[in-house]
């Protein structure tokens, strides 16, 4: 199959990219792990919603055919917004700036993922990579960067939730982004996925020297002794050869609350609030949610983890921008 995009068409868009970045603090966060099921979409949705709730303008881009952020934020059945990745695929293939599909919370815009990314982008990107290996022209590496960087100043934060299985998509995200955050569980295969990310970062750096590996998030960890947690943290940091620290805040393992979030299309703080409203109104309430008190309590604890992680992430970005580490 021949590549559909003529990379020469990218040039006008790509030429605007360096001028957009000059002197401005990077605001594009890449959430990536080479393994599925490690919390990428859940984390991306919670960070995006949390920052939007605190008044920021946020764009969440799901670069994944899985389309789980649509479930996490409850717009799966909203045909006007959930386009299965079509707008995103069209923008990349037509070398145009990315248009969000809609606003799913005040201040939170989305570019959904879905089947169009499988069918179009992954095939196209692999074709481009093959063509580039013969021509030596690296312009294709900037397909996503051109599409996303040109709109970066319209938002306070852009979050890219990247598919685990596609090397080309991961590299595209890292050429487009500023900060990489890797959620991981503590098992062997998630840690293998973590090491994959360090390879992708190395591939992207020649094209995007400002990319920073911000940190690792321990995701869905049990309430193990602090000694055990400390051992996991140092193992993860040595997996990436000290390239990035593990955030102090871990996301706790609370299966039922996590399921309630995805089932209802709400983030943890919304489940907590809706459950409280449900308890006040009694059964039959429309605005409220009827869940076990234990689920409401763990949703509250989970919401606290995400708030504290979001705060830590902003603190670390702020310190690096100020010249620290």
Question: What whole-number distance in Å separates Cα of residue 123 and Cα of residue 129?
Answer: 10
**Nearer CB in complex with ligand ADP: 87/252:** 252
Give me the least distance between CB of 161 and Mg ion, in Å please.
6
Q: Is 41 in the site for Mg ion (CB under 5 A)?
A: yes
Cβ-proximal residues to 46 (8 Å cutoff; 6+ apart), any chain:
72, 267, 268, 306, 310
Footprint of Mg ion on 55-74 (CB under 5 A): 66, 68
Question: What whole-number distance in Å separates Cα of residue 65 and Cα of residue 62?
Answer: 8
**Nearer CB in complex with Mg ion: 5/89:** 89
**Nearer CB in complex with ligand ADP: 63/254:** 254
**Nearer CB in complex with Mg ion: 41/166:** 41
What residue 302 binds from Mg ion, ligand ADP, none (CB within 5 to 8 A, per partner kind)? Answer: ligand ADP
What residue 276 binds from Mg ion, ligand ADP, none (CB within 5 to 8 A, per partner kind)? Answer: none
> Which residues make up the interface to ligand ADP (CB under 6 A)?
36-42, 68, 220, 251-255, 258-259, 262, 302
219 CB burial (10 A radius; 0-12, 13-18, 19+)? buried
Give me the least distance between CB of 72 and ligand ADP, in Å please.
7
Torsion angle (degrees, nearest 10) of CA 178, 63, 124, 4:
-90
Output the CA–CA distances (angstroms, integers) from residue 148 to 95, 113, 170, in the order listed: 10, 15, 14
What residue 38 binds from Mg ion, ligand ADP, none (CB within 5 to 8 A, per partner kind)? Answer: ligand ADP
Q: Quick one: how far is CA 63 from the chain centroid? A: 8
**Nearer CB in complex with ligand ADP: 204/258:** 258
Strand pairing class (179-184; 157-162): unpaired
CA-based R_g, the chain, Å: 20
What residue 253 binds from ligand ADP, Mg ion, none (CB within 5 to 8 A, per partner kind)? Answer: ligand ADP
Residue nearest Mg ion by beta-carbon distance: 41
């Amino acid at each position: 199959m021949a590549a559909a995009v003529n990379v020469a068409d990218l040039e006008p868009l790509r030429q605007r990219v360096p001028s957009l970045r000059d002197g401005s603090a990077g605001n594009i966060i890449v959430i990536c792990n080479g393994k599925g099921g490690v919390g990428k979409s859940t984390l991306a949705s919670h960070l995006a919603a949390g920052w939007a709730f605190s008044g920021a303008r946020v764009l969440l881009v799901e670069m994944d055919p899985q389309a789980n952020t649509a479930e996490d934020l409850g717009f799966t059945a909203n045909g006007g917004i959930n386009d299965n990745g079509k707008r995103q695929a069209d923008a990349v293939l037509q070398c145009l700036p990315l248009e969000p599909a809609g606003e799913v919370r005040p201040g939170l815009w989305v570019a959904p993922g879905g089947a169009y990314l499988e069918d179009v982008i992954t095939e196209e990107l692999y074709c481009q990579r093959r063509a580039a290996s013969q021509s030596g022209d690296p312009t294709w590496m900037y397909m996503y960067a051109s599409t996303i960087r040109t709109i970066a100043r319209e938002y306070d934060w852009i979050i890219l939730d990247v598919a685990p299985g596609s090397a080309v998509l991961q590299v595209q995200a890292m050429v487009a982004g500023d900060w990489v955050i890797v959620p991981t569980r503590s098992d062997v295969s998630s840690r293998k996925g973590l090491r994959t990310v360090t390879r992708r970062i190395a591939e992207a750096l020649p094209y995007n020297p400002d990319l920073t590996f911000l940190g690792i998030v321990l995701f869905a960890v049990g309430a193990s002794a602090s000694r055990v947690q400390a051992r996991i943290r140092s193992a993860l940091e040595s997996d990436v050869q000290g390239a990035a620290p593990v955030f102090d805040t871990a996301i706790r393992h609370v299966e039922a609350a996590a399921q309630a979030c995805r089932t209802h299309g709400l983030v943890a703080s919304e489940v907590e609030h809706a459950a409280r409203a449900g308890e006040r109104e009694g059964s039959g309430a429309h605005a409220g949610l009827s869940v076990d008190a234990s689920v409401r309590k763990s949703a509250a604890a989970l919401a606290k983890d995400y708030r504290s992680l979001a705060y830590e992430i902003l603190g670390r970005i702020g310190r690096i921008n100020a010249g620290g580490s």
